Amino acid sequence: MEGYLFKSAACLLIFFVFYKAFLENISAHTFKRFYLLGSVAVSLSIPLVTFTNYVEMAGITNHPAYRAVSVDGTIPVKENIDYLPYILWSIYGLGVSFFGFRFCRNLFGIWKQLQQHPLLKKQGFFYVLLQKHVVPHSFLNYIFLNKQQYGANSIPKEVLLHEHAHVKQKHTLDILFIELLHVLFWFNPLFLFLKRSIRLNHEFLADKAVLRHGAETSAYQNLVLAYSSHAVTPQLAHSINYSSFKKRFTVMKTHTSKKVVWLRSLLLVPLVALMLYGFSSKETVVKQSSQTEQILEINTEKATKKQLAQYNKLAKRYNAIAIENRKIPLADLEKLEYIYGLMTTEQKKTAQPFPECYLENKIGRYDTYAEDFMEGAARNGEKTFVVMISMNNVTLNGKPSSIKTFKDDLNAITEDWTKTDFNEALPSILISKNSEHFLKKLEVEFQKTDYAQHKKGATLQIPPPPPPPAPDVPKPPKKVIKGVNDSEANIPPPPPPPPAPKVDGNKIFPAPAPPPPNPNPEEYIKELEKKGATFYIGPHEYSADEAIKMVKKSKDASIDVSEYPIVRLNGC
């Protein structure tokens, strides 16, 4: 916002200086009228213009490291509240209220005069006849005159012609427009000078209209001087005794050739071009190279039948759960996304729908990941940050961000970092299920950050896919039950075996035996938990509460305690 206000004020200043130097004293008053009004509109528009530059991004190199940091607990972080924006907005609101009240008061004063005094319609004009002595002035279609002077026919014809010109040319609309802008931009003193120039140019136009009707120049100038008094005129009205008589008299005698007007007008072309170049915005959009696009197209042909079967099993399981209750462990989510990314359009049509879920559920058990990661890094004396990008949403250190604010948000985090901090920092970046367009735009903003400038080659782009699967390993014993979402290539090493019996001299201490079976599987799991058991479904470890939920959902669940204290749940 500050940048926009500064740029628009600079543009308005340049336009106004050009007007004072080259246009004010020429006789092309109609052109000057639209120039003054148009300069305000153009000054407010130029900072909003954005030029887009498309660049091809080279291959991904030096991707930020992904690592885990040990976390032992949580440390409350006290956030400092920045009161400056509230103070500035309060001051701005007071200014708008003051100038807005003054504007409304002036309008009300004119409306009150219209209600309290008689109106006389003549030749399409409304004469408002006032009892007090006033200098003739006009507002919209109304001309305010002294009743006694009008009745005695003592108001010169030239004065009435002057006010008729203001009404016919609708000068009041210009004043209302600039006054409303002054209410909004009351802090910009340029609007005061601009208002004076607009009103003075209105007098030039009215004077020119009077002289066109045959009035003699010197006699009209004497008449204007005769009406020069200190009588008060409403701020929103036009009157013949407006100041700057010397300049008005000079311009009355000036005649500018069309050639001079055209030459001075042409100077605006390079002026506007320079302002567009200097005060508009520039945006760089990363365009993927054709080589990268070809690689992506080739990769989409690699979803095998085995991967499709694996995807369909996982998707079917999670699609059966209502979306508001659907929570997908990160390992399963990554597997689903990876296989889905390999599938062709035809394969996607015949496959199970992708099991979407809410952002917080998608991250799953990592909803406190950012906080834990940052606290762990702080205890280790390390600088870092956490970026989570999912479903076209982005968070920085657990706080919502956006494409528009991403650069400023990240720069605020790294504001006090040293060169060493930038070089040694290893941020955590989690990316899942985003549109390519969103990631490209976010990447552009990331490249503008201080971190990307210090650490060349840093990027938010998704790392390359994992290497090809390793050769098949020997099949595990029959009592090992694979999870529905695992293939041989994805099965991690089996959990460690139970501790061997402890030997102390000639004494042997056997491992503790599990509690006797309980016909109620839920109660049995609770008893096992109290005895220190850990629960597995396939290669994945689950808490007791999760194990109970799985058993409840399954009709053929069985509990295997042959490896106690490792307990395996089958049929879930």
For 376-388, write each residue's pLDDT tens digit. 778 777 888 988 8
Same domain, 198 and 263: yes
Q: At what angle do helices 190-212 and 2-18 cross, to 10 degrees?
A: 30
Residue 232: burial class (beta carbons within 10 Å; 0-12, 13-18, 19+)? exposed
Q: State if pTM tops 0.85.
A: no
Whether residues 255 and 330 share a domain: the answer is no
Which of the listed residues 310, 342, 359 is the one where a domain comes to its end? Answer: 359
Examine residue 324 and state whether it is found in any structural domain, yes or no.
yes
Domain finish residue from 243, 275, 307: 275
Residue 122: alpha-carbon gap to chain centroid: 56
Give me the pLDDT at residue 238, please: 61
The encoded tokens of residue 62 equal 């030096």
Domain membership of residue 299 (yes or no) is yes
Specify the pLDDT at position 414: 92
- Are 184 and 87 within one domain? yes
Nearest residue to 358 via CA among 467, 459, 433: 433
Residues 187 and 333 both lie in one domain: no
- 60-74, 219-233, 253-267, 446-460: lowest mean pLDDT where? 60-74
The domain tally of the chain equals 3
Phi, psi of 317 (to 5 degrees): -60, -45
Amino acid at residue number 494: P
Q: Residue 122: in which H helix or E strand, if any?
A: strand 119-122
**What is the token pair recorded at 141?**
């279609």
Rounded distance between C-alpha atoms, residue 17 and residue 21, angstroms: 6
In a domain, 433, yes or no: no
Q: How far is it, in rounded angstroms, from Cα 187 to Cα 166?
A: 29
With 60 as the cut, is the pLDDT of residue 502 above it?
no
Question: Is 363:430 a contact under the CB 8 Å cutoff?
Answer: yes
Residue 146: inside a domain: no
What residue spans of 59-169 are helical by DSSP H? 84-116, 147-151, 157-168
Phi, psi torsion values for 152, nearest 5 degrees: -85, 0
Contact 159, 223 (CB under 8 A): yes
Q: Range of 298's domain?
A: 289-359
Residue 177 is assigned to a structural domain of this protein: yes
Task: Find the range with the poorest average confidence among 168-177, 304-313, 424-433, 497-506.
Answer: 497-506
Query: Which one-letter DSSP state was computed for residue 19?
Result: I
Q: Are residues 237 and 355 in the same domain?
A: no
pLDDT band for position 10 (cuts 50, 70, 90)? very high
Same domain, 104 and 208: yes
| DSSP element (H, E) containing 285 | strand 281-288
Instruction: Count other C-beta atoms under 10 Å from residue 564's C-beta.
Output: 19
Alpha helices per DSSP H over 498-543: 521-530
CB 261 within 8 A of CB 31: yes
pLDDT > 70: what percent of the chain? Answer: 75
Q: Are residues 179 and 47 in the same domain?
A: yes
Per residue in 348-395, pLDDT (tens digit) is 888 888 887 655 554 444 456 777 778 777 877 788 898 888 878 888
User: How does 18-47 read in b/e, with b if 16+ C-beta sit within 10 Å?
Assistant: bbeeebbebbbbeebbebbbebbebbbebb
